[in-house]
């Protein structure tokens, strides 16, 4: 149990990286528009991300475990290396303030490892690639439609009300909590899913079941650990990317910011139900683009968007090349 459990450290590193990068986007627009305080945002995100991971996130853990198994990840050591490569790439991108996709980094590393071992499942990978394209486009159109409706029928009527500020803040809180929940549901698998079929959870689960009055499953334990490591990343190092997403791409009105959070949360929920891990960053940025297009793309910084798109394409490529090299040289 001891040595194999240590192999989970790179998965914990990945969960932390998810928290620092993807989780920050749940309340990024709320903080960027100064409706919600940063400290409030990170605590709400951390708490509800753990709940989402435990209550809904097990399907994504299960599916990613199968993808990893089909790409030659058969032991805790294999999982440790793949996760270490993926998390390192995500952390580097976070340091340079690029809201990169952790799911892209992970799938890229799995592809590289699988190719090094002459194993892989092209149909599974195609499913993820399709999701990376569909998710930001879907969120963009959802947010665009919501913003057009809100601007035409709602904004003018509520803007002059004395309770307008409370209306906006309440909307941000509800949407942010929903987003944090779906974030945990969709991304806990990024931290621990690769380990699921390696047997690494059997020892800790056996110990817990000998101490607790209820039964803990390996799947549930993996989702919980993933959610907790994600929450740790939110609480310790999420501010840089949160401000970059909230302020750096476009200037949003308070109502637009609320609809960005709500739209991206809908997309995360849909893909969580399908068992596909997607990037919160991609969903949020797609929604921000939709909000900007609703007013003729005013304030949209295409230079920032270009840098983000380069990071999206570069991340799986870099992770894949590193994992391929490690797998081919040492295994």
Pairwise CA distance, residues 41 & 202, whole Å: 35
Query: For residue 114, with 0-12 CB atoms within 10 Å meaning exposed, 13-18 middle and 19 or more buried, which class applies?
Result: buried
Other residues' Cβ atoms within 10 Å of the Cβ of residue 35: 21
Instruction: State the Cα–Cα distance between residues 59 and 189, nearest whole angstrom.
Output: 8
Q: At what angle do helices 102-116 and 76-95 cross, to 10 degrees?
A: 140
Of 239, 235, 250, the residue nearest 284 (C-alpha): 250
pLDDT tens-digit map of 238-267: 887 777 655 555 567 778 888 888 898 899
In this predicted model, what pLDDT tens digit does every residue of 173-232 receive, in sequence order? Answer: 998 899 999 999 999 999 999 999 999 999 899 999 999 999 999 999 999 999 999 999
pTM of the predicted model as reported, rounded to 2 decimal places: 0.86
Residue found by looking up tokens 């995100």 in the block: 45
Nearest C-alpha neighbor of 29 from the set 180, 279, 242:
242
Contact 59, 272 (CB under 8 A): yes
- DSSP string covering 101-162: -HHHHHHHHHHHHHHHTT---HHHHHHHHHHHHHHHHHHHHHHHHHHHHHHHHTHHHHHTST
276-321 tens-digit pLDDT: 888 877 888 888 889 888 877 655 666 666 666 777 788 899 999 9
In this predicted structure, what is the pLDDT of residue 108? 94
pLDDT at 29 over 80: no
């Amino acid at each position: 149990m001891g040595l194999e459990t240590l192999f989970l450290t790179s998965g914990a590193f990945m969960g932390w990286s998810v928290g620092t990068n993807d989780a920050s986007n749940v309340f990024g627009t709320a903080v960027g528009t100064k409706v919600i305080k940063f400290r409030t945002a990170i605590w709400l995100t951390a708490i509800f991300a753990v709940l989402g991971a435990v209550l809904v996130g097990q399907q994504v853990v299960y599916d990613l475990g199968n993808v990893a198994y089909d790409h030659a990840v058969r032991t805790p050591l294999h999982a440790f290396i793949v996760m270490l490569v993926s998390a390192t790439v995500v952390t580097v991108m976070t340091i340079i303030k690029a809201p990169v996709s952790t799911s892209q980094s992970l799938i890229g590393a799995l592809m590289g490892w699988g190719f090094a071992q002459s194993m892989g499942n092209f149909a599974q990978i195609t499913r993820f690639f399709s999701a990376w394209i569909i998710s930001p486009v879907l969120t963009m159109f959802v947010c665009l439609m919501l913003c057009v409706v809100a601007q035409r029928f709602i904004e003018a009527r509520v803007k002059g009300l004395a309770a307008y500020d409370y209306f906006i803040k309440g909307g941000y809180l509800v949407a942010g909590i929903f987003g944090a929940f779906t974030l945990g549901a969709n991304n806990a698998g990024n931290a621990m899913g690769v380990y699921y079929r390696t047997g690494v959870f059997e020892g800790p689960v056996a110990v817990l079941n000998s101490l607790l009055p209820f039964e803990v499953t390996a799947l549930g334990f993996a989702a919980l650990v993933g959610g907790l490591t994600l929450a740790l990343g939110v609480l310790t190092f999420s501010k840089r990317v949160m401000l970059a997403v909230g302020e750096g791409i476009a200037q949003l009105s308070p109502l637009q910011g609320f609809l960005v959070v709500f739209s991206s949360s809908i997309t995360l929920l849909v893909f969580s139900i399908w068992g596909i891990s997607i990037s919160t960053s991609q969903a949020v940025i797609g929604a921000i683009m939709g909000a900007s297009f609703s007013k003729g793309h005013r304030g949209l910084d295409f230079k920032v968007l270009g840098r983000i798109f380069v990071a999206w394409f570069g991340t799986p490529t870099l992770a894949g090349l590193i994992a391929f090299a490690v797998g081919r040289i040492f295994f």
